[in-house]
Copies of this chain bind each other. A is one copy, B any other.
Amino acid sequence: MADYQLYYWPSIQGRGEFVRLTLEEAGADYVDVARMPEEEGGGAGAVMSMLRDHQGGTAPFAPPVLQHGSLRLAQTATICRYLAERHHLVPRDQPGRLHCDQLALTLADLVNEAHDVHHPVGVGFYYEDQKEEARRRAAFFRDQRIGKFFSYFERVVDENPASGGWLVGSERTYVDLSLFQVITGIEYAFPTSFARTAPDHPGLIALRDRVAALPRIAAYLRSERRIPFNANGIFRHYQELDA
């Protein structure tokens, strides 16, 4: 049995992708449970069952969920931090770790905003039933939010005293992996807006490329374990929402 079992929807990157990237860069022994065939206990049903299973404590509110022995963890940032501390994907010093954590949560805020562009009225309605609201929110997100967040993270890289092109300290951390995911997700969803803003953020583009070139991440991105971006995830490309 693998060390870790990840429970997340099998057909999207979604929030689970932040965990997958952390597990991959850690070189961890894990199973992406729902991506196994249904006859082997996989499929979306495996996620649903886990969310109903109260054994050993309250079932989590939502996936992604990581099972590690008897420990069952939910919430993307909590899971990533836990893995990162075990697998040397955080700095050794406490201020560095805390800095990573706050950046991870700032990225989570951006991820929420990117999601809400196509679901401003809530996840209870289809995109088709909130297209007009989405158009208004998309304009605001494109024109004001992407640039504001990107400029912030660009500054963090730029002002990192270790000056190695990473967010915190002199080595890659789990937050660099998460930032890679956010940058590529926004590029996928808003290609026109992204092309316009990218030249202002050379540090982020370099960081994205540096993460993609990490041997384990590069192997993962080439593998079938990496689910392509698609129209059901957090980052969705709708032509009418890109400028």
* Shortest beta-carbon distance from A181 to chain B in Å: 18
Contacts of A73 in B (CB 8 A): 98, 102
In Å, the complex CA distance between A58 and B61 comes to 34
In Å, the complex CA distance between A75 and B102 comes to 6
Residue in chain B with minimal CB distance to A155 = B58
B58 touches A74 (CB 8 A): no
Which of A77, A82, A130 has the most C-beta atoms of chain B within 10 angstroms of its own C-beta? A77
> Is A163 engaged at the interface, CB distance under 8 Å to the other chain?
no
B152 touches A61 (CB 8 A): yes
For A, the interface residue count at a CB cutoff of 8 angstroms equals: 43
Subset of 28 A-B contacts with CB under 8 Å: A54-B159, A58-B152, A58-B156, A58-B159, A60-B102, A62-B106, A71-B95, A73-B98, A73-B102, A74-B106, A75-B101, A77-B77, A78-B98, A78-B101, A78-B102, A78-B105, A81-B101, A112-B112, A116-B116, A116-B122, A120-B120, A120-B137, A121-B133, A122-B136, A122-B145, A125-B136, A125-B140, A133-B133
User: Which A residues contact B (CB, under 8 angstroms)?
Assistant: 54, 57-58, 60-62, 71, 73-75, 77-78, 81-82, 95, 98-99, 101-102, 105-106, 109, 112-113, 116, 120-122, 124-125, 130, 133, 136-137, 140-141, 144-145, 149, 152, 155-156, 159
